[in-house]
Amino acid sequence: MRDENRDIEIRDEDLLAAYELGLLDDDAAHRFEAATRKDASLLEELFEGAPAAAAMTADPARLVAVLRAVRAESQPSTYARLRGFFADLLTPRILASAMVTAAVIIALVLVPTGEGKFAGLAVLEPLAYGQIDVRGDAPTADRLFHDAMDSYLVQNWDTAAVGLEQAIAAGAGDASWSRNDQAHLYLGSARLMAGRTGSAVTALQTAAVSPQPPVSERASWQLVQARLMLDDGHGALIELEGLLNSPVYGQRALELKKRLETP
Amino acid sequence: MNDVPTPEASFDTLGDRAAGGDGRAEAVLFEELRVRFLTITKRRVQPDHVEDVVQDALRIILGKYRERSRDCGLLVWSLTVLRNVIGNHYQTRRRETERTTQVEDWQRIGEETPGKDPSGGLDHDETAGLLENAVAELARRSPRCGDIFRHILESHERGGGQREISQRAFETVCLEHPDLTRNTFYVALHRCRAQLRSLMDRMETGVGHA
């Protein structure tokens, strides 16, 4: 049994997060609220954090999915081990042949020849990204990712794409690298912005099956735009179906779906 | 300066009593909200508009607090209402300025209007998206923080009253971190929140594409 009487003293401000998330009993909540009347900076902090706190408790399942996915990423899975096996198997020569074949298929099958009727509906815009510093001892893949995202943020799409390809290659042998899906997302976006729509699709498809909703949904939305650019209205509709329940993209997906279905 | 008695219960308890028809509880609740709203609004809105903004927010809360979702506490919910009202106030002022500005002056609108909303201005979708990214990044950088948030949110997901959600979250966190007491759990959570806020701020300001 835990001896609550031997617990440490706690300052009012240390109750903030527990208060926001509704964990305090009535006495502790009352104590914290009284403090917000006396301490303007504490009230200010509560005010600034209120939208995020409300978003957290309004849809906990979504954030739980994000957190579980990140947790799973950090533990080598069967998939990661298999991925490592195939990465070893794919020598540069085999990989180059496969890429050439894929490029030919994409060029023949997917790239439209004329002005598409759906391309006008596509909204090509970069994805938001907040650059985060990396530690000096960070893995190579993280550092390459960071540098590539510097290029992405200044809209140097080709350099960003090359850097992200390098980051993905560097991370391929490291089962604990947690940015693989994120790197594919931004690689797809960079290629899309650079006008390389066909190759953007391949990267975005990888990101679209990420277990992290922020990655998978953004990738799906970018895929919709890529499909539209490729004049593939049917493909865009299929991607949109998967976004209809998204709290972030749901409304936009519904509106676009209606426009696509309007003769 | 303020002679209103300190409430004897939390906002949520006062809200429950008020919703049940206790007029005194409702009066105390709204006075407590008003005092806090004034503090916040004075820092964001010109003095002659402060009272209007606060009254608008209180009017909305009075109309909705009985039916509001119980996902988050009454004070946190009320602060999101105030935030929206302040945002709307700035939008309205911007539109008014644009309407009264001569056509040839339109280029200067951006510099001259008081339209920048100091409350931040992210809408619900943007907040949700930013929060998801920040939570994922936090969990990568600090697995312990990721675990703490995950257990709390899983407990919210399973539902129940405040006591049940809180106790379940605490017990599951303790299974992985048996060194925690109730208060050290709150302190640890507070530190994780500070990291999350810092990541959100950096992501928001570091976003390269407005």
Element (H, E) at B93: helix B74-100
**A226 and A135 within one domain:** yes
Residue type, B118: P
Does any CB of chain B come closer than 8 Å to the CB of residue A65? no
**A33 and A97 within one domain:** no
d(CA A186, CA A214): 12
- In a mutagenesis test of the B interface, which of A15, A46, A63 is the best target, namely the one with the most B β-carbons within 10 Å? A63
- Evaluate whether residue A196 is within a structural domain: yes
**A129 and A205 within one domain:** yes
**A160 and A36 within one domain:** no
Pick the more confident residue, B149 or B121. B149
- Evaluate whether residue A206 is within a structural domain: yes
- Evaluate whether residue A116 is within a structural domain: yes
Lowest mean pLDDT among A10-19, A94-103, B86-95: A94-103
What is the distance of C-alpha B162 from the center of its chain? 19
**A151 and A27 within one domain:** no
- Evaluate whether residue A73 is within a structural domain: no
- In a mutagenesis test of the B interface, which of A12, A13, A47 is the best target, namely the one with the most B β-carbons within 10 Å? A47
- Evaluate whether residue A205 is within a structural domain: yes
Residue B41 has a pLDDT of 96
Question: pLDDT band at residue B108, thresholds of 50, 70 and 90?
Answer: very low
**A111 and A21 within one domain:** no
Say if CB A207 and CB A164 are below 8 A apart. Answer: no
Q: Structurally, how many domains does chain A consist of?
A: 2
**A82 and A35 within one domain:** no
Go through chain A and tell me how many residues it has.
Answer: 263
Does any CB of chain B come closer than 8 Å to the CB of residue A1? no
- Evaluate whether residue A66 is within a structural domain: no
**A184 and A134 within one domain:** yes
**Which of A36-45, B107-116, B194-203 has the highest mean predicted lDDT (pLDDT)?**
A36-45
What burial class does residue A84 get, using C-beta atoms within 10 Å of its C-beta: 0-12 exposed, 13-18 middle, 19+ buried? middle
d(CA B173, CA B187): 13
d(CA B180, CA B174): 6
Residue B4 has a pLDDT of 46
Q: Which of A19, A56, A131 sits opposite B206 (nearest CB)?
A: A131
Does any CB of chain B come closer than 8 Å to the CB of residue A61? yes
- Say if the Cβ atoms of B82 and A10 lie within 8 Å: no
- Residue B9 carries which DSSP code? S
pLDDT 10s digits, A81-116: 555 555 555 555 555 555 665 665 555 555 544 446
**A144 and A239 within one domain:** yes
Does any CB of chain B come closer than 8 Å to the CB of residue A49? yes
**A84 and A47 within one domain:** no
Residue A76 has a pLDDT of 55
pLDDT 10s digits, A38-92: 999 999 999 999 999 999 998 898 899 889 888 877 665 555 555 555 555 555 5
Give the three-class secondary structure for A230.
coil
- Say if the Cβ atoms of A60 and B192 lie within 8 Å: no
Q: Which of A33, A153, A154 sits opposite B75 (nearest CB)?
A: A33
pLDDT 10s digits, B52-84: 999 999 999 999 999 888 888 999 999 999 999
d(CA A148, CA A166): 9
- Return the CATH number at A94: 1.25.40.10
Q: Rounded mean pLDDT of chain A?
A: 81
Q: Which of A7, A44, A248 sits opposite B183 (nearest CB)?
A: A7
Q: What is the DSSP string of B137-198?
A: HHHHH-HHHHHHHHHHHHHHHH---HHHHHHHHHHHHHHH-TT--HHHHHHHHHHHHHHHHH
Q: Which domains does chain B have, with CATH numbers?
A: 11-112 (1.10.1740.10), 124-206 (no CATH)
- Evaluate whether residue A65 is within a structural domain: no
- Evaluate whether residue A97 is within a structural domain: yes
**A125 and A49 within one domain:** no
* Surface of B (167-186) touching A: CB under 8 A: 169-170, 174, 181-186
Element (H, E) at A135: none
- In a mutagenesis test of the B interface, which of A1, A13, A33, A145 is the best target, namely the one with the most B β-carbons within 10 Å? A33
**A223 and A96 within one domain:** yes
Contacts of A34 in chain B (CB under 8 A): 6
Domain span holding position A33: 4-58
